[in-house]
Amino acid sequence: MLGDMTQTKILISGASVAGPALAYWLHRYGYRVTVVEKAPDLRGGGYAVDFRGDVHMTMLRRMGVLADIERLRTRMGATWYVNSAGKRLVKMPDDLFAGDVEILRGDLAQVLYQATRDDTEYIFGDSISSAEEDADGVTVHFERGDPRRFDLVIGADGVHSKVRSVAFGPEDRYVKHLGLHCAIFTAPNHLGLSYSGLAYSTPGKVVSVYSARDNTETKALFYFASPAADYHRHDVARQKKILAETFRGNGWETDPLLVTMWDSPDFYFDSVSQVHMDTWTRGRFALLGDAAWCPSSLSGMGTGLAMVGAYVLAGELATAEGDHRTAFAAYERELRAYVRGCQKQGEGVSRLMVPESPVLAWFLRLNFKLIPYLPWKGLMAKSVRKTASAYTLKPYTTPTRRP
Ligand SMILES: Cc1cc2nc3c(=O)[nH]c(=O)nc-3n(C[C@H](O)[C@H](O)[C@H](O)COP(=O)(O)OP(=O)(O)OC[C@H]3O[C@@H](n4cnc5c(N)ncnc54)[C@H](O)[C@@H]3O)c2cc1C
């Protein structure tokens, strides 16, 4: 037992979505929370993420952040598939990409940060370097700050989680490459898009561009089939070169978009991966969000799932009155099936983009131009919504704020 919750100190690694969401709930249940974030400041901007279905919307309402999120929503409308000449071929359902409410990831992080900053200790520009657990707690060492003691340590630090490597072992045991890479960066709105997106696909490659920040800019998004590539995760110059070489001469607006890539302020590049773990908790450590179960960016589920996970983890800790063993076991039980459903969604989409079977590959090659016309597009939107809704939020004890 950890005893009095107001005396329980919890360290969260990562201040994006899962970390601040967990800080929010833990504070409401009376815990003392510190969040450490590797970046020097809250990372802004980024790509659009969405929430869909009753589970997500109820959770946002319970947190009291829905109004702020709606104020900052992207207001994205249709995405059109185009041919190589830019002719609009077919409109995809609005909610397939934008859900019920869509917001830039950095804006969401800002909303969650504002909701927690007064009651949470935030440390930017630092990272856990190592941690030792004993019977009473965890001694955490930082890259810059002095060592400190905590009762629990939670990793909400993404696919390449430091907490996971410290407490569970190396990344290659858990991170499964789905055979695709993804890049995204901010570009000028030279196509004059108005709350809309365009997508151009060829077998194993998709380029899409959608307007953002009231059409003052766009996000250029690239997916391409590729085995695990040979580059360092922080070597942006090499990553840009890989993207340029892969997509040069791809057709449609690809080359002009690639020209803008070199000066882009926020280039992001990573493999499209999932995280699979038999357990998300060990001793006084727990993982949350992409660090624990990343369903991949193609699932469209990662953000809602990270926030539902934060709600459940904090709720179970409160229900167990701080007994982390009981709470962690309940957290795993509660979320396993929901997480698995969301991961399946991500696997399904990646298999369509990089088919494993030669027969499916042949079929898709022949029919690629037809895919947007097929009834599947409506079914896809329904299926994503069904996956997002396949969970029942527990009420947990009515949270009371500490004075
Ligand atoms: C291109 C793209 C498009 C996406 N589109 C969607 C979408 O449409 N819908 C959707 O729901 N989801 C989408 N996602 C997924 C979504 O972004 C993630 O699932 C979600 O952000 C997970 O949140 P998280 O807080 O768990 O992890 P992250 O957002 O990855 O945050 C991890 C945080 O930890 C920090 N960190 C890392 N290492 C350390 C360390 N050592 N110490 C301290 N801090 C550290 C990072 O700087 C970061 O702030 C998309 C992702 C990508 C890449």
The single-letter code of the amino acid at 324 is: H
Ligand 1 site-directed mutation target among 13, 157, 180, 335, most atoms within 8 Å of CB: 157
pLDDT at 2: 46
| Ligand 1 mean position, distance from CA 375 (Å) | 32
How many structural domains compose the chain?
Answer: 1
Assess contact for 286 and 328: CB atoms under 8 A: yes
Task: Answer whether residue 22 is part of any domain.
Answer: yes
CATH number of the domain at 150, please. Answer: 3.50.50.60
Judge residue 90's burial from the number of C-beta atoms within 10 Å of its C-beta, 0-12 exposed, 13-18 middle, 19 or more buried. middle
Comparing CA positions, the residue from 171, 128, 170, 168 lying closest to residue 150 is 128
Ligand 1, atom 23: nearest CA belongs to which residue? 17
Residue appearing with tokens 């959608």: 210
User: Domain range holding 27?
Assistant: 5-74+101-175+274-354
Q: Which tokens is 219 given? A: 């996000």
- The structure's pTM equals 0.93
pLDDT at 137: 98
pLDDT at 234: 85
Angle at 60 between CA 56 and CA 62, to 5 degrees: 115
Ligand 1, atom 51: nearest CA belongs to which residue? 297
Quickly count: other Cβ atoms within 10 Å of residue 74's Cβ: 21
* pLDDT tens-digit profile, the chain (403 residues): 445 677 899 999 999 999 999 999 999 999 999 999 999 999 887 898 999 999 999 999 999 999 999 999 999 898 888 889 999 987 877 777 778 899 999 999 999 999 999 999 999 999 999 999 999 999 999 999 999 999 999 999 999 999 999 999 999 999 999 988 999 999 999 999 999 999 888 878 889 999 999 999 999 999 998 888 777 888 999 999 999 999 999 999 999 999 999 999 899 999 999 999 999 999 999 999 999 999 998 888 999 999 999 999 999 999 999 899 999 999 999 999 999 999 998 888 777 766 556 666 556 555 555 555 566 666 777 888 899 999 999 998 755 554 4
The maximal CA–CA distance of the chain, rounded, in angstroms, is 66
Comparing CA positions, the residue from 88, 249, 100, 247 lying closest to residue 182 is 247
Ligand 1, atom 38: nearest CA belongs to which residue? 157
Judge residue 384's burial from the number of C-beta atoms within 10 Å of its C-beta, 0-12 exposed, 13-18 middle, 19 or more buried. buried
Ligand 1 site-directed mutation target among 11, 34, 47, 299, most atoms within 8 Å of CB: 47
Residue 303 CA, closest ligand 1 atom number: 11
Assess contact for 107 and 16: CB atoms under 8 A: no
Residue appearing with tokens 């969301």: 342
For ligand 1, whether the C-beta of 5 sits within 6 Å is no
48 CB-near residues (< 8 Å, 6+ apart): 74, 76, 98, 102, 103, 104, 105, 210, 212, 219
Assess contact for 357 and 228: CB atoms under 8 A: no
| Ligand 1 mean position, distance from CA 85 (Å) | 34
pLDDT at 1: 42
Task: Answer whether residue 331 is part of any domain.
Answer: yes
Task: Answer whether residue 300 is part of any domain.
Answer: yes
Assess contact for 311 and 59: CB atoms under 8 A: yes
For ligand 1, whether the C-beta of 50 sits within 6 Å is yes
| Ligand 1 mean position, distance from CA 192 (Å) | 29
| Ligand 1 mean position, distance from CA 255 (Å) | 28
